[in-house]
Amino acid sequence: MTASGHSPKRSAEKLADLTERLRRQSRKVTGPRQALLDLLRQQSHPLAIREIFAALPAGISDLATIYRSMHLLEQMRMVKRFDFGDGAARFELVPEGEDGHHHHLVCTRCSVVLEIEECFPEHVERSLAQTSGFQGITHRLEFFGLCPECQTTKSI
């Protein structure tokens, strides 16, 4: 498990390497995309579209552009989508060659995020596949709780 938001990214890829991945797929390296990728690579936890939009200097990009970029990057497997159960998709950069599969422990009050490296249900998917006949089984798993900080803070 790794603290997030403060700790360095597990495998910080250089911006140039990220844009190179774009070029390799005949996608264009534009201003908005560089700003977006540079923002993501400095984060070690998933960012919501809204957070990305707010973090980017005003006028650098547009909500529609960000949505379209995230769709593209997801399709290219450069980002992974996470869902914390509020109605907002979150995205995290995926190091080249990896699949980005991991889980999170999210504070239900302040939304701080810890990354969980271990993946527990993996061995279960095989038995599920056998008993159900489903193919290509994957899963989403997120943990929620009250972080130590919020335990000592008076309720709002």
- Site residues (vs a copy of itself, CB under 8 A): 1, 83, 85, 87, 105, 107, 114, 116, 118, 120-121, 124-125, 128-129, 131-148, 151
Given a contact cutoff of 8 angstroms between Cβ atoms, the answer to whether 21 and 78 are in contact is yes
149 in contact with DNA (CB under 7 A): no
Other Cβ atoms less than 10 A from the Cβ of 95: the count is 15
Task: Give the residue, chosen from 2, 15, 21, 32, that forms a contact with DNA under the rule CB under 7 A.
Answer: 32
The token pair that represents 28 in the structure block: 């264009």
String marking each residue 34-73 x if it binds DNA according to CB under 7 A: --------------xxx--------xxxxxxx-xxx-xx-
Give the DSSP H or E segment for 120: none
CA distances from 38 to 6, 10, 116 (A): 16, 15, 24
DSSP character at residue 121:
T
Q: How many residues bind DNA (CB under 7 A)?
A: 28
Q: Enumerate residues 7-26 that contact DNA by CB under 7 A.
A: 22-23, 26
- What is the C-alpha to C-alpha distance for residues 91 and 31, in angstroms, rounded to an integer? 19
Footprint of DNA (CB under 7 A): 22-23, 26-33, 48-50, 59-65, 67-69, 71-72, 87-89
